[in-house]
Structure 1
Amino acid sequence: MRFCPLYSGSSGNSIFIASESSKILIDAGLSGKHIEKAIKDIGEEPQYIDGIFVTHEHIDHVKGVGVLSRKYDIPIYSNSLTWKAMSKKIGKIKEHNIKIIDKESVSIKDLDILNFQISHDAADPKGYVVYNDNKKVCVATDLGHFSEEVKESIRDCDAILIESNHDVEMLKFGPYPYNLKRRILSGVGHLSNEDCGKAIVDIMSDKRKVVFLGHLSKTNNYPELAYQTVANILQENGIKIGKDIELSIAQRDKPSSCVNF
């Protein structure tokens, strides 16, 4: 199994996941050309993507979805409310590539893709857990808060992309207008660095985890600050980085290091 954040940040998100016989994307929130380049940069080919799974309709998650589907005849998977909300943003899609998720899990060849509810200001936002044999990876960003459903869904994952969006003090005293600050800090906004660290503590188990901190704000965060804030919380709770957990930042503008199981 292979897990690779291609891009992660407030300016665009896409994650590549593959098994021996299946390849999927979770979101495609940059231009089609950017996504194509990133896929090729990790030694893969976009024409072999078996499906794009959409978390929600915001443009930093769907910008390249329609382009890639039309160019490479790729199916797009999302729930019905998200389809309705994103349809004008992604353009016309061939009927056979419109895949409405009406149950908790979908199988593509040897991958099982489970969706779970997340708290965000979108039509019907979802996170995804992807299984192959005894390996489990997940994408959990755009989290207004870390709910019990999210916690239980991702607890036993081997590799996780989890949101560490902002530093609360940077956001409060930063340039955003009051209404936007309030939205980000709300229960349907984004997870702070501190809340991300606490969430990781809550899901730790005997299984060693690879964790990417993702969806960082360009305005209200720094990679070094996000990493150090989370690292301090983990260490305060007796979790050893490098032993119990492999911790890194998902890159904003290029593919991160791939995790290969």
Structure 2
Amino acid sequence: MSLNFSVLASGSTGNAIYVETDEHSLLIDAGLSGKQMENLFQEIQRDIKNLSGILVTHEHSDHIKGLGILARKYEIPIFANEKTWKAMEREIGEIHLEQKFTFEIGETKSFGSLEVESFGVSHDAAEPMFFVFHHNGKKLALITDTGYVSDRMKGIIRGADVFIFESNHDVEMLRMCRYPWNVKRRILSDVGHVSNEDAALAMADVIGDKTKRIYLAHLSKENNMKELARMSVQQVLEKKGFIVGEQFELYDTDPKKPTPLVAV
């Protein structure tokens, strides 16, 4: 049995990730419209109605835009921590009680042979958290929407076979952009988003012998570019002694197109 995944969409305009085993399939966040989400599932040749559940990282709209619509239409269980449930109630609308489940920070839930471990991150949301997926000795780590990567976070994600890792912005592009200063300060803060360079420095501490793929995720539409993110991350990692392209590969993600469905 394999652990498969696709980054359906990733960026400042909407985020969603699909993970499956032979027994269960999960969606992590639903940050695009219901129609867009349905189209993304068609592209990877999967059916939303077969989902075992939707895991919610936090209540920002680029992570929950289509959540209520999909949950009601397909009667999908939703898993979120207590503070996130309270924070997103108005945005997602009414959800039947039998579809509402709590998944707290530090918990591990089992979906058949798939173990899902949750951990907290540093972001300006009620109680943001991300996930590590364990299956048959394989490990998939998902971490975006954090202002920094602490030693605690590194300890949880370290040595994954695959990382889906935030590489949000280029610091100089952000400083020069037209955003108001308070928005720039928020992004650069400890509860904002990690830059390309900071992401790479964190990666250097967690890449292990089994690591084969790193997906650069949640790129800012205004303050980053795929080529720039990849180049910046690669330069830092190579200075740290890693050989990108031999030890592991760097992959892009896209706000509108899913990555191919592949096995961890």
| Matched residue, 1:237 | 240
Specify the code of the residue in structure 2 equivalent to 1:121: D
Q: In 1, distance between residues paired with 2:261 and 2:228?
A: 23
| Matched residue, 2:36 | 34
Specify the code of the residue in structure 1 equivalent to 2:26: I
Matches within 5 A, 1:72-83: 72-83=74-85
Q: In 1, distance between residues paired with 2:135 and 2:210?
A: 16
Q: Say whether the 8 Å CA contact 2:77–2:101 is kept in structure 1.
A: yes
| Matched residue, 2:250 | 247
Matches within 5 A, 1:156-167: 156-167=159-170
Runs of 4+ residues deviating >3 angstroms: none
Specify the code of the residue in structure 2 equivalent to 1:179: N
Specify the code of the residue in structure 1 equivalent to 2:113: D
Q: How many pairs does the alignment contain?
A: 261
| Matched residue, 1:199 | 202
Aligned partner (choices 132, 142, 145) of residue 142 of structure 1: 145
TM-score, normalised to structure 2, is 0.96
Give the root-mean-square deviation of aligned CA atoms.
Answer: 1.0
SS of equivalent to 1:68 = helix
CA deviation profile, 1:194-214 (whole Å, cap 9, x unmatched): 001111111122213311000
| Matched residue, 1:17 | 19
Q: Say whether the 8 Å CA contact 1:27–1:61 is kept in structure 2.
A: yes
CA separation of 1:208 and 1:243: change in aligned 2, threshold 3 A: farther
| Matched residue, 2:56 | 54
Q: What percent of counterpart residues are identical?
A: 45
Bigger shift: residues 143-152 or 97-106? 97-106
Shift of 1:148: 1.2
Q: Say whether the 8 Å CA contact 2:159–2:209 is kept in structure 1.
A: no
Matches within 5 A, 1:1-16: 1-16=3-18
Shift of 1:110: 2.2
Q: Say whether the 8 Å CA contact 1:106–1:113 is kept in structure 2.
A: yes
Q: In 2, distance between residues paired with 1:160 and 1:204?
A: 9
| Matched residue, 1:126 | 129
Shift of 1:143: 1.1
| Matched residue, 2:118 | 115
Shift of 1:157: 1.2
CA deviation profile, 1:203-236 (whole Å, cap 9, x unmatched): 1222133110000000011111001000111111
Shift of 1:144: 0.5
Are 1:172 and 2:175 an aligned pair? yes
Q: Say whether the 8 Å CA contact 1:57–1:123 is kept in structure 2.
A: yes
Q: In 2, distance between residues paired with 1:160 and 1:259?
A: 13
Structure 2's unaligned 5+ residue stretches are: none
